[in-house]
């Protein structure tokens, strides 16, 4: 494998968060507002607005007929919804107009309070929408169960269809859905043929028009099916049924405006809340649907294969709070002008997206065309038969009963909630139906929470206890009875198949398990897949978990047992545990190596007890055997043979047959805390590793005795033909600490003779002609960390001096990488590309994030408490600051790096 990770190419020392002007935004956040932009009209927006206008006019008239409202009120709400909600809403491509979901509610309000009071109720609902949008409550509306929302809309759709069926048969609808259903047989017995035939013709054209085949079909499909069906029905009715009931638009001078509401306050408040609820839910659900349609279109997918997908555009997520405020303003204005309640419509919005609209100009223009039609096309609109409009709205009602929604709620076992909501809406009303749906949803949730199946099976001396469902206090009596029937001190496997366990159930199981264990029994807890509960779910179900062999890798030492040697040493010496560390956690040494206080205390205890292999633990009174090095080695080997060898045997057998072919030479320190295969997520055969004290690379021509590293480099480059070489340093390096503390009279021991290859790194760090190496986003913590970083850069220079490396670099067949691993943070950093190649002046180590490096470099280096981006807060006054000075004669960009003291 390769440890190469894409790094950024602009080698600046610091990074800052992107500005709002860049257009970059965090996921799931509202789009940044356009500043200083003009209202632009593209050609696609103009054509899309005409398409939506041709759908909106017959739809608005039909909904006004269905609500028994003044017909001009439908046109007013369509114009206001298009212009006002289009300009102020948070979903640019959503088209608002008369609310299909409020058809039944508005019709009932008009019957009870009259038209003018209904307009006042619309104003009140709009004011509440503005308030909720300002309080950022739009997302909360989507928290209602989808089964309840879709059930409400489906119930409204059925009620609309039943009411419009009466109009299509030439009669008037009744006051409720149940009354319409009961009166239907009588109406079928005394209907006249003209209106039903015109309605049937309208439905036929609506269904057939989008499916017309061939080249002619593709051409005529550019005309919306709604307009085509109404136009054809109008033409046929003009010739075949001149006496059929038609649209009657009264004079605008007699148009009724709102009045102060009159009636019981509680009933009026309930009416306002109902209009608010249905209109808001319909608009927000339509906004989410428009988001999905826009994303599909941006990805090159369109629902109509005859319509080419427009060029990909940046997808802006809907701002639901702004959308709710825009709908509120539109409802207030529509009510003031004597219009119907307004909401976002899925039919109009999807037509707008599919027609190629690119912005809110299409929505606004559609409203302008509706406004012009209301003033100039009154004579033409009055030719439309009421039966054609009723058939159009009836089809819309049937479309609100979505089969995909039914299948979805059935798959999630929520059909009971869906059916109860529909029934409640049809029998009692919208608000009552929603309340019934919520009550049934709560009852279903409680039933599922309390439904727990417990079975006990005897498997020849071992009992299997299977618990299906959630474990709450309601299941504790049955659980205690089932566990109490098991023999005391016996072996048992408890399989828990559920995602929730409350405190009462946990204590019951824990107490029983402790009792069984104390009496000599063995209890194992598993999930449905058979994995132990102690194994995290992410590990139990992950096919790639390279960290697992190192997690709790000293578990064979049983550190959780009282009197573990590590804890006993600390208890004997009074050494404190590190913050967040508990006894028996098996924590390794701190970043300062073996010089930490706990290790010194442990060594002092060892010296006190001498050569004994037992250690008395204060407070326990029992001697605990200490693990010797040989025992630890044997135990680890045994653990490998038992757990790991069966998993890697086939892979190692393949490598044994085919030989090694690593892709990377990895030169790192011999520090025991660096597990190269773990931090690089590599496996057998991936890395050719060289480890030495200080991850040093002696330059060619060094004295005898230093040829081991050179031989490894030559073998890896010339024989194995690796693709890259990585020099990896780490935090808290003891070799760098030794270099910092060295004195001229340091004894010439073997260790010092080796560490002399790090002296060039010391010289580089103190030189005035080299910039300090830095970690992106902050300065090094201290001089030791600075030397660790500088040492990586210096050893890369030594590496380039080797003949085989220089040759492969010149051929372009080899890459060099610098890496720094912070042990305490478990965080890797990569040296910037130019510095690794020896061609860059900025020696910056960039943080490697958890994202896929093949997609984007995961910069996550911004400290919000340091808005300048120059480093983390703290006192760095003791550290020199690198500055860049350039000779005037030098070409631009070739400045010499010079160090000045702070």
Which residues participate in catalysis according to the annotation?
669, 671, 673, 730, 733
| b/e map 327-338, b = 16+ CB within 10 Å | bbbbbbbbbbbb
Query: Distance (Å, rounded) from C-alpha 45 to C-alpha 861?
Result: 42
DSSP, collapsed to helix, strand or coil, labels residue 738 as helix
DSSP 317: -
Residue with tokens 């702070």: 902
One DSSP character per residue, 610-672 reads TT-SEEEPTTT--EEEPPPHHHHHHHHHHHIIIIIHHHHHHHHHHHHHH----SEEEEEE--T
Q: Kindly report the number of other CB atoms within 10 A of residue 152's CB atom.
A: 27
Query: Distance (Å, rounded) from C-alpha 213 to C-alpha 293?
Result: 25
Contacts of 264 (CB under 8 A, 6+ apart): none
- Spatial CA neighbour of 831 closest among 756, 892, 898, 771: 771
Q: Which helix (H) or strand (E) holds 453?
A: strand 453-458
Q: Kindly report the number of other CB atoms within 10 A of residue 35's CB atom.
A: 7
Strands 96-98 and 342-344: antiparallel
Contacts of 873 (CB under 8 A, 6+ apart): 863, 865, 866
R_g of the chain, CA atoms, integer Å? 38
Instruction: Please name the residue ranges forming H helices in 241-264.
Output: none
Q: Is 595 exposed, middle or buried (0-12, 13-18, 19+ CB in 10 A)?
A: exposed
Strands 623-625 and 664-669: unpaired
DSSP, collapsed to helix, strand or coil, labels residue 742 as coil
DSSP, collapsed to helix, strand or coil, labels residue 523 as strand
What torsion do the CA atoms of 279, 285, 286, 291 make, to the nearest 10 degrees? 150
Contacts within 8 Å (CB) and 24+ apart, 531-535:
533/496
DSSP, collapsed to helix, strand or coil, labels residue 532 as strand
- Count of residues making up the chain: 902
DSSP 771: P
Query: Distance (Å, rounded) from C-alpha 792 to C-alpha 727?
Result: 6
Q: Which residues are bridge partners to 688 per DSSP?
A: 665
The HSE-up count of residue 601 (CA atoms within 13 Å, CB side) is 17
Query: Distance (Å, rounded) from C-alpha 156 to C-alpha 152?
Result: 6
One DSSP character per residue, 799-854 reads HHTSHHHHHHHHHT--EEEEEEEETTTTEEEEE-HHHHHT--S--EEEEP-SS-TT
Q: Which helix (H) or strand (E) holds 505?
A: helix 503-518
Query: Distance (Å, rounded) from C-alpha 285 to C-alpha 291?
Result: 10
Contacts of 304 (CB under 8 A, 6+ apart): 221, 354
| b/e map 75-88, b = 16+ CB within 10 Å | bbbbbbbbbbbbbb
The HSE-up count of residue 220 (CA atoms within 13 Å, CB side) is 16
Query: Distance (Å, rounded) from C-alpha 451 to C-alpha 474?
Result: 9
């Amino acid at each position: 494998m390769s440890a190469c990770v894409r790094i950024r190419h602009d080698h600046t020392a610091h990074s800052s968060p992107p500005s709002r002007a860049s257009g970059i935004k965090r996921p799931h956040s509202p789009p940044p507002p356009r500043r200083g932009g003009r209202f632009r009209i593209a050609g696609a927006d103009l054509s899309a607005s005409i398409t939506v206008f041709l759908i909106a006019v017959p739809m608005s008239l039909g909904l006004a007929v269905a609500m028994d409202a003044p017909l001009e009120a439908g046109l007013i709400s369509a114009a206001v919804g298009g212009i006002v909600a289009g300009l102020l809403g948070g979903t640019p491509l959503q088209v608002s107009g008369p609310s299909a979901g409020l058809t039944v509610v508005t019709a009932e309000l008009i019957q009870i309070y009259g038209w003018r009071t209904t307009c006042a109720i619309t104003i009140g609902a709009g004011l509440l929408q503005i308030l909720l949008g300002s309080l950022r409550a739009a997302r909360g509306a989507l928290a209602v169960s989808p089964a309840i929302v879709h059930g409400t809309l489906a119930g409204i759709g059925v009620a609309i269809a039943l009411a419009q069926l009466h109009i299509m048969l030439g009669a008037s609808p009744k006051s409720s859905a149940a009354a319409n259903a009961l009166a239907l047989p009588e109406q079928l017995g005394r209907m006249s043929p003209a209106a039903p035939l015109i309605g049937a013709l309208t439905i036929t054209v609506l269904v057939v028009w989008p499916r017309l085949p061939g080249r002619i079909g593709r051409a005529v499909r550019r005309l919306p099916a709604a307009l085509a069906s109404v136009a054809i029905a109008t033409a046929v009715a003009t010739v075949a049924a001149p006496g059929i009931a038609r649209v009657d638009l009264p004079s605008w001078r007699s148009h009724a405006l709102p009045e102060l509401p009159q009636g019981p306050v509680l009933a009026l408040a309930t009416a306002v809340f109902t209009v608010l609820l249905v209109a808001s839910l319909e608009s927000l659900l339509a906004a989410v649907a428009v988001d999905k349609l826009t994303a599909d279109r941006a990805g090159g997918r369109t629902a109509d294969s005859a319509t080419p997908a427009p060029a990909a555009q940046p997808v802006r997520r809907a701002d639901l709070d702004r959308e709710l405020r825009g709908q509120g303003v539109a409802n207030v204005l529509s009510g003031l002008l004597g219009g119907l309640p307004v909401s976002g419509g899925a039919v109009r919005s999807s037509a707008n997206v599919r027609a190629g609209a690119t912005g809110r100009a299409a929505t606004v223009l559609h409203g302008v065309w509706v406004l012009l039609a209301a003033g100039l096309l009154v004579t033409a609109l009055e030719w439309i038969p009421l039966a054609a409009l009723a058939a159009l709205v009836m089809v819309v009602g049937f479309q609100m009963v979505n089969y995909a929604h039914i299948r979805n709620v059935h798959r999630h076992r929520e059909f009971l909630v869906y059916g109860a909501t529909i029934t409640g809406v049809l029998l009692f009303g919208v608000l009552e139906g929603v309340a019934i749906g919520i009550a049934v949803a709560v009852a279903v949730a409680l039933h599922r929470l309390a439904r727990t199946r417990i079975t006990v099976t005897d498997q020849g001396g071992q009992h299997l206890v299977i618990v299906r469902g959630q474990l709450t206090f309601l299941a504790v009596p049955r659980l205690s009875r089932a566990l109490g029937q098991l023999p005391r001190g016996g072996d048992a496997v408890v399989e828990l198949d559920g995602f929730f366990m409350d405190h009462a159930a946990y204590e019951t199981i824990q107490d029983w398990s402790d009792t069984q264990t104390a009496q000599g029994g063995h209890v194992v807890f598993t999930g449905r897949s058979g994995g132990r509960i102690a194994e995290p779910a992410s590990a139990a179900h992950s096919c790639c978990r390279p960290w697992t062999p190192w997690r709790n890798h000293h578990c064979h030492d049983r550190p959780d047992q009282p009197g573990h040697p590590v804890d006993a040493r600390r208890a004997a010496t009074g050494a404190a545990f590190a913050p967040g560390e508990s006894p028996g956690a098996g924590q390794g040494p701190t970043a300062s190596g073996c010089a930490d206080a706990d290790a010194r205390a442990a060594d002092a205890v060892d010296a006190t007890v001498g050569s004994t292999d037992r250690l008395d633990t204060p407070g326990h009174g029992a001697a605990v055997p200490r693990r010797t090095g040989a025992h630890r080695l044997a135990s680890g080997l045994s653990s490998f043979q038992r757990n790991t060898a069966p998993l890697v045997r086939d892979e190692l057998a393949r490598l044994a047959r085919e030989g090694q072919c690593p892709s990377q030479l990895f030169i790192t320190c011999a520090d025991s805390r660096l597990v190269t295969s773990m931090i690089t997520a590599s496996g057998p055969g991936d890395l050719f590793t060289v480890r030495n004290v200080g991850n040093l690379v002696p330059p060619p021509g060094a004295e005898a005795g230093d040829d081991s590293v050179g031989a490894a480099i030559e073998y890896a480059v010339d024989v194995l033909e690796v693709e890259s070489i990585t020099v990896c340093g780490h935090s808290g390096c003891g070799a760098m600490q030794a270099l910092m503390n060295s004195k001229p009279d340091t004894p010439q021991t073997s260790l010092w003779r080796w560490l002399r290859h790090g002296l060039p790194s010391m010289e580089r760090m103190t030189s005035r002609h080299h910039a300090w190496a830095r970690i992106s986003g902050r300065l090094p913590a201290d001089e030791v960390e600075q030397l660790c970083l500088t040492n990586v850069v210096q050893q890369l220079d030594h590496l380039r001096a080797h003949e085989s490396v220089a040759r492969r670099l010149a051929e372009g067949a080899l890459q060099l990488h610098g890496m720094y691993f912070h042990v305490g943070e478990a965080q890797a950093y990569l040296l910037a590309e130019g510095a690794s190649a020896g061609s860059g002046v900025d020696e910056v180590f960039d943080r490697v994030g958890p994202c896929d490096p093949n997609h984007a470099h995961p910069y996550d280096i911004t400290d919000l408490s340091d808005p300048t981006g120059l480093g983390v807060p703290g006192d760095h006054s003791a550290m020199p600051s690198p500055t860049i000075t350039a000779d005037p004669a030098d070409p631009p960009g070739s400045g010499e790096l010079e160090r000045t003291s702070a």
